[in-house]
Amino acid sequence: MSRTTSKKRLLGWLADAALILYFIFALFPIAWMVILSLKPTNELFSTYFSFSPTLDGYRTVLGDSEGIPFVRFFVNSLVVSLGAVALSLLVGLPAAYASARWRFKGSENLMFTLLSFRFAPELTVIIPLFVLYQKLGLFDTYVGMIWVLQLVTLPLIVWIMRSYFADLTPELEQAALLDGYSRKQAFFKVAIPLVKPGIAAVSLLAFIFAWNNFVFPLILTSNEAQTVTVGALSFLGGDRPKYNLTAAAALVSVVPPLLLALTIQRYLVRGLSFGAVKS
Amino acid sequence: MGWRLNLRPYLLIVPALLLTCGILYPFGLGLYYTLFDFSASKPQPDMVRFENYETVFTQEAFWNSAWVTVLYAVGAAAVETVLGVAVALLLHRSTIVGRVLEKILILPLMIAPVIAAIIWKLMLQPSVGVINYLLRPFGLGGVQWTDTPTGALLSSIAVDVWVYTPFVAILALAGLRSLPTSPFEAAAVDGAGWWYTFRRLTLPMLWPYVLVAVIFRFMDSLKVFDIIYALTEGGPGDSTVVLQIRAYLEAIRFQRYSFGISYTIVLWAVVYLAAMVLVKHLGKIQRKAAEVPAK
């Protein structure tokens, strides 16, 4: 008896050890970037470990001194990501509500079409858009970027919000209708307030996806509307690699998604695991 | 009243559909472009019908890219599945260690893949990177991670694994937590061992959940772009030129627009076919899994 318990305990420790090993793999790169970003330039190429932390790397990255306007890229990322989420909420919420409340001809097909854009290779639409944007003057503009980023945000918002609306019993709105509310009022005063937590979570998830996108800004912007994901890469260019600046830029660009992820972790997991658990 | 009720959902859905058409239009336009020899050097293109596609399929470069893409997608999806399920099983034991670590599981997934590739590129530098620094005591200090063909492919798969294993783990964990408990209790009463329970109960019942994750990961890896672009740019040589990178080089760098788009259309068709087959398979697996506890 005691032998089996001690064997069990040993296996438990081994399991914990394996788990910790994976998490070292998962977290070490982030920790190492923090160290690298704090290194002074003269320590970058030493082959032995030396570390006298300085904030110079961040000062250079945030101060335009390498000719890369990183702060502007950061603001650009904010504007286009928020814009894409706002636009997607505006058209996505009614669509999600409609598909959750009414069975109508072609509803499943329409919904699947929306989701199927997730599987299309980005370049299939970007290259024609690149040609089109050059003609229309949308290349390297906020409007152009918001227009393509909703390709990422809209399907996400429609699909997740659809399930939140479907979870509400229709009786609530029917009661409101009996009380003399119009359909519109029932939607805005009953349905929307009840799914508010869902809207908040899905908006943040969509924001993170838009923020993290790389291909769209790489091809459809050059300077004015460029975002942090493309901007961080430009520190790697040039004849003298500036590893500390690259690390600092990478870290600055992951601060918003990481902060959001830590605050709404529970909802994000629900959003991400949604398809599997519900289907 | 009747007709108004039927019209309303369409009205609500129209704005979303219009935005969607904003994407369908360039897609159709791209498809149309592939019938011409449209490039920067030929702004007034001639109709060439399917010549672009013929060139794609007869080019050795295409078959090389297709092979690299499949290796990458299968490799990444396979490692992520095994590792992700293992992490989920370990977290499902919910010890104190597990409960603390679970909260930060999501972090790599929130980092843009391109940024992850930059991070790993810095760590994999042969002379000053931290990986070789840590390997030096074991006599392995000089590995040229991204400068050899095999190394470059394995390194880019490693970045994919780093970013997306949490995705599989989260889905698998959600699946584990939604499994019915009674079959497991029955197995425990019967004195079934851990391995037997895992193979006969846990895995078959969990498989539909995992399969969704596998489908998503495999589809996404087939169209990988940002990780490769930032880590190797397709090199050394052609060793990591996946299809989307090839399309990018052709269309944007060499400005052979219609030829580059042909590449992405072929990739799009492949991804769609793969999705159809896998989704069909998913239905079968789910029906099978539903029968497991009954046995």
Residue B124, token pair as written in the block: 């994999």
Q: Where does the pLDDT of residue A198 fall: very low under 50, low under 70, confident under 90, or very high at 90 and above?
A: confident
Interface test with A, best of B5, B11, B19 (most A CBs within 10 A): B19
Fill in the DSSP letter of residue A67.
S
Chain B CB contacts of A10 under 8 Å are none
With an 8 Å Cβ cutoff, are B112 and A30 in contact?
A: no
Note whether A108 contacts B: Cβ–Cβ < 8 A.
Answer: no
Please indicate whether, in this complex, the C-beta atoms of B30 and A119 are within 8 angstroms of each other: no
Q: Where are the alpha helices (DSSP H) in chain B?
A: 2-33, 51-58, 60-92, 96-102, 107-110, 113-123, 130-135, 149-178, 182-189, 194-197, 203-222, 226-231, 243-248, 257-291
Work out the minimum CA distance from A82 to partner chain B, whole angstroms.
17
Token pair in block for residue B194: 């851990």
Q: What are phi and psi of B104, to 5 degrees?
A: -105, 5
Alpha carbon distance B267, B222 (integer Å): 8
Q: Do A16 and B229 touch (CB under 8 A)?
A: no
A178 shares contact with chain B (CB less than 8 Å): no
Q: Residue B244 is nearest to which of A102, A123, A260, comparing CB atoms?
A: A123
- Nearest by CB: B97 against A16, A215, A243: A16
Q: Using a CB–CB cutoff of 8 Å, tell me whether A102 touches chain B.
A: yes
Does A10 contact B at CB distance below 8 Å?
A: no
* pLDDT over threshold 60, residue B250: yes
Tens digits of residue pLDDT in B211-242: 888 888 998 899 999 999 999 999 898 999 99
Mean pLDDT of A108-128: 76
Chain-chain contact of A276 with B212 (C-beta, under 8 angstroms): yes
Partner-chain contact B19 A154, CB within 8 Å: yes
Q: What is the pLDDT of residues B138-150, one digit of tens each?
A: 888 778 888 899 9
Whether the bond into B236 is cis, omega within 30 of 0: yes
From chain B, the residues in CB contact with A114 under 8 A are: 16, 20
- Of A16-30, A60-74, B154-168, the poorest mean pLDDT is in A60-74
The answer to whether A151 and A222 have CB atoms below 8 angstroms apart is no
Mean pLDDT, range B92-118, rounded to an integer: 90
User: Is it the case that residue A41 has pLDDT exceeding 70?
Assistant: yes
Whether residue B3 is predicted with pLDDT greater than 50 in this model: the reply is no
Average pLDDT, chain B: 87
Choose among A219, A30, A260, A205: nearest CA to B226. A219
- Residue B97 reports pLDDT greater than 90: no
pLDDT at B181: 86
Is residue B43 helix, strand or coil?
A: coil
Residues B258, B36: contact at Cβ < 8 Å? yes
CA distances from B264 to A130, B155, B251 (A): 14, 24, 10
Considering Cα of B239, then A29, then B95, then A257, what sign does the dihedral take?
Answer: negative
Place of tokens 């070789």: B132
Q: Which residues of A touch B18 (CB under 8 A)?
A: 91
- Is residue B152 very low, low, confident or very high in pLDDT (cuts 50, 70, 90)? very high
**Residue A161 forms contact with B (CB below 8 Å):** no
Nearest to B120 by CA among B91, B163, B82, B77: B163
Nearest CA-CA partner of A84 in A217, A187, A196 = A217
CB contact under 8 A, A214 and B114: yes
Neighbouring CB atoms inside 10 A of A118's CB total 15
Beta bridge partners of B39: B42
**Residue B206 CB burial class (10 angstroms; 0-12, 13-18, ≥19):** buried
Euclidean distance between CA atoms A95 and B17, whole angstroms: 9
Closest-CA residue to A249 (of A50, A64, A27, A54): A64
Respond yes or no on whether ipTM tops 0.85: yes
Residue A266 is predicted with a pLDDT of: 76
**Paired residues of B47 in beta bridges:** B36
As a whole number, mean pLDDT of residues A160-173 equals 85
Return the pLDDT at A274. Answer: 60
**Encoding tokens for residue B176?**
């584990």
CB atoms B244 and A121 under 8 Å: yes
CB nearest to B225's CB, from A18, A154, A215: A215
Distance between CA atoms of A275 and B174, rounded to whole angstroms? 11
User: What's the pLDDT at B1?
Assistant: 39
Length of chain A in terms of residues written: 279
Report d(CA B39, CA A56) in Å as an integer: 45
Residues of B in contact with A187 (CB under 8 A): none
pLDDT value for A57 = 85
CA–CA separation, B158 vs B227, rounded Å? 10
Query: Quick check: B112 and A229 CB within 8 A?
Result: yes
SS3 B48: coil
